[in-house]
Structure 1
Amino acid sequence: MNKLLPTSTAGSLPKPSWLAEPEKLWSPWKLQVEALVEGKQDALRLTLMDQQQAGIDIVSDGEQTRQHFVTTFIEHLDGVDFEKRETVRIRDRYDASVPTVVGAVERPNPVFVEDARFLRQQTQQPIKWALPGPMTMIDTLYDAHYKSREKLAWEFATILNQEARELEAAGVDIIQFDEPAFNVFFDEVNDWGVATLERAIEGLKCETAVHICYGYGIKANTDWKNTLGSEWRQYEESFPKLQKSGIGMISLECHNSHVPMDLIELLRGKKVMVGAIDVASETIETPEQVADTLRKALRFVDADKLYPCTNCGMAPLSRRVAKGKLAALGAGAAIVRGELLA
Structure 2
Amino acid sequence: MTTTHNLGFPRLGLRREMKKAVEAYWQGTINADQLARTGRDLRRHHWEIQQQAGIDWIPVGDFSWYDHVLDTSCLLGCVPERFAHPGGAVALDTYFRMARGRAPSGQPRPACEMTKWFDTNYHYLVPEPTPDQAFSLSSEKLFEEFAEAREILGDKAKPVLLGPLSWLWLGKCHAESFDKLTLLPRLLPVYGEILQRLKDQGAQWIQIDEPILALDLPPSWLTAFEQSYHQLQIKGLNLLLAVYFGPLAGNLKTACSLPVAGLHVDAVRAPEELSRVADWLPAHKVLSVGIVDGRNVWRSDLDEALEALASLHDRRELWLAPSCSLLHTPVDLDAETGIDAELKTWLAFAVQKLEELTLLKQALDHGPEIVADPLEASRRAIASRRASKRVTDPAVRRRQAEITPAAERRANPYPVRREAQRAKLDLPLLPTTTIGSFPQTPEIRARRRDFKQGEISADDYTAFLKKQIAFCVQKQEAYGLDVLAHGEPERNDMVEYFGEQLEGFAFTRNGWVQSYGSRCVKPPIIYGDVSRPRPMTVDWIRYAQSLTPKPMKGMLTGPVTMLQWSFVRDDLPRRDTCLQIALSLRDEVADLEAAGIGVIQIDEPALREGLPLRRKDWPAYLDWSVGCFRIASSGVRDETQIHTHMCYAEFNDIIESIAALDADVITIEATRSKMDLLDAFAGFEYPNEIGPGVYDIHSPNVPSAEEMATLLELAAGKIPLERLWVNPDCGLKTRQWPEVDAALGNMVEAARILRRKYS
Give the letter aligned to residue 262 of structure 1.
Answer: D
Supply the distance in 2 between the matched residues of 1:79 and 1:301 (Cα, whole angstroms): 42
Partners of 2:473 and 2:484 within 8 A in 1: yes
Match of 1:328 in 2: 746
Supply the distance in 2 between the matched residues of 1:102 and 1:179 (Cα, whole angstroms): 22
Give the letter aligned to residue 645 of structure 2.
Answer: H
Shift of 1:85: 9.1
Please tell me whether residue 63 in structure 1 is matched to residue 488 in structure 2.
Answer: yes
Give a deviation string over 1:209-260, Cα, whole Å, max 9, x none: 210012xxxxxxxxxxxxxxxxx7x111332222244221111111233651
Aligned in 2, Cα 1:189/1:119: closer, same or farther, shift over 3 Å? farther
Equivalence map 1:113-262=2 (5 Å) = 113-144=538-569, 147-186=572-611, 187=618, 190-205=622-637, 206-214=640-648, 234-257=650-673, 260=676, 261-262=678-679
Structure 1: stretches of 5+ with no match in the other structure: 22-26, 215-231
Match of 1:112 in 2: 537
Choose between structure 1 and 2: higher strand proportion: 1
Match of 1:76 in 2: 501
Give the letter aligned to residue 733 of structure 2.
Answer: A
Give the letter aligned to residue 235 of structure 1.
Answer: F
Shift of 1:190: 1.9
Aligned in 2, Cα 1:182/1:237: closer, same or farther, shift over 3 Å? farther
Partners of 1:251 and 1:275 within 8 A in 2: yes
Match of 1:285 in 2: 703
2:733 to 297, 315, 318: 315
Partners of 2:441 and 2:736 within 8 A in 1: no
Match of 1:40 in 2: 465
Give a deviation string over 1:44-85, Cα, whole Å, max 9, x none: 011111111111110001112211111101100112122599
Aligned in 2, Cα 1:292/1:189: closer, same or farther, shift over 3 Å? farther
Partners of 2:675 and 2:692 within 8 A in 1: no
Aligned in 2, Cα 1:96/1:340: closer, same or farther, shift over 3 Å? closer
Choose between structure 1 and 2: higher helix proportion: 2
Aligned in 2, Cα 1:96/1:338: closer, same or farther, shift over 3 Å? closer
Match of 1:337 in 2: 755
Structure 2: stretches of 5+ with no match in the other structure: 1-425, 612-617
Match of 2:477 in 1: 52
Aligned length: 316
Supply the distance in 2 between the matched residues of 1:200 and 1:74 (Cα, whole angstroms): 16
Give the letter aligned to residue 590 of structure 2.
Answer: R
Give the letter aligned to residue 292 of structure 1.
Answer: T
Shift of 1:88: 8.1
Shift of 1:282: 0.9
Shift of 1:30: 4.6
Partners of 1:256 and 1:278 within 8 A in 2: yes
Shift of 1:174: 1.6
Match of 1:296 in 2: 714
Give a deviation string over 1:9-50, Cα, whole Å, max 9, x none: 0121103442226xxxxx944553222101110000111111
Give the letter aligned to residue 301 of structure 1.
Answer: I
Partners of 2:507 and 2:525 within 8 A in 1: yes
Structure with bigger gyration radius = 2
Supply the distance in 1 between the matched residues of 2:558 and 2:725 (Cα, whole angstroms): 21
Deviates more, 1:295-304 or 1:313-322: 295-304
Supply the distance in 2 between the matched residues of 1:87 and 1:66 (Cα, whole angstroms): 17
Matched residue SS, 2:606 = helix
Matched residue SS, 1:250 = strand
1:263 to 669, 680, 690: 680
Partners of 1:84 and 1:99 within 8 A in 2: no
Give the letter aligned to residue 98 of structure 1.
Answer: P
Shift of 1:98: 3.4
Match of 1:103 in 2: 528
Supply the distance in 2 between the matched residues of 1:41 and 1:116 (Cα, whole angstroms): 10
Match of 1:226 in 2: none
Give a deviation string over 1:175-213, Cα, whole Å, max 9, x none: 111112123222365232211111111221211121001
TM-score by length of 1: 0.85
Supply the distance in 2 between the matched residues of 1:315 and 1:87 (Cα, whole angstroms): 18
Partners of 1:150 and 1:192 within 8 A in 2: yes
Give a deviation string over 1:140-168, Cα, whole Å, max 9, x none: 32333752211111111110010011111
Supply the distance in 2 between the matched residues of 1:96 and 1:332 (Cα, whole angstroms): 33
Matched residue SS, 1:45 = helix
Give the letter aligned to residue 68 of structure 1.
Answer: D
TM-score by length of 2: 0.40
Shift of 1:4: 0.9
Partners of 2:440 and 2:734 within 8 A in 1: no
Partners of 1:44 and 1:65 within 8 A in 2: no
Supply the distance in 1 between the matched residues of 2:512 and 2:476 (Cα, whole angstroms): 37
Partners of 1:63 and 1:69 within 8 A in 2: no
Q: Runs of 4 or more off by more than 6 Å in structure 1?
A: 84-91
Matched residue SS, 1:79 = strand
Aligned in 2, Cα 1:17/1:101: closer, same or farther, shift over 3 Å? closer
Supply the distance in 1 between the matched residues of 2:703 and 2:510 (Cα, whole angstroms): 40
Shift of 1:99: 3.2
Matched residue SS, 1:308 = coil
Supply the distance in 2 between the matched residues of 1:166 and 1:277 (Cα, whole angstroms): 32
Supply the distance in 1 between the matched residues of 2:701 and 2:515 (Cα, whole angstroms): 28
Aligned in 2, Cα 1:180/1:169: closer, same or farther, shift over 3 Å? same
Aligned in 2, Cα 1:108/1:240: closer, same or farther, shift over 3 Å? same
Q: CA RMSD in A?
A: 2.5
Matched residue SS, 2:600 = strand
Aligned in 2, Cα 1:145/1:120: closer, same or farther, shift over 3 Å? same
Supply the distance in 2 between the matched residues of 1:4 and 1:150 (Cα, whole angstroms): 39
Supply the distance in 2 between the matched residues of 1:147 and 1:197 (Cα, whole angstroms): 19
Match of 2:692 in 1: 274
Matched residue SS, 1:309 = coil
Identity, % of aligned pairs? 25
Supply the distance in 2 between the matched residues of 1:139 and 1:109 (Cα, whole angstroms): 23
Give the letter aligned to residue 460 of structure 2.
Answer: A
Matched residue SS, 1:63 = coil
Matched residue SS, 1:185 = coil
Aligned in 2, Cα 1:15/1:267: closer, same or farther, shift over 3 Å? farther
Supply the distance in 2 between the matched residues of 1:102 and 1:84 (Cα, whole angstroms): 17
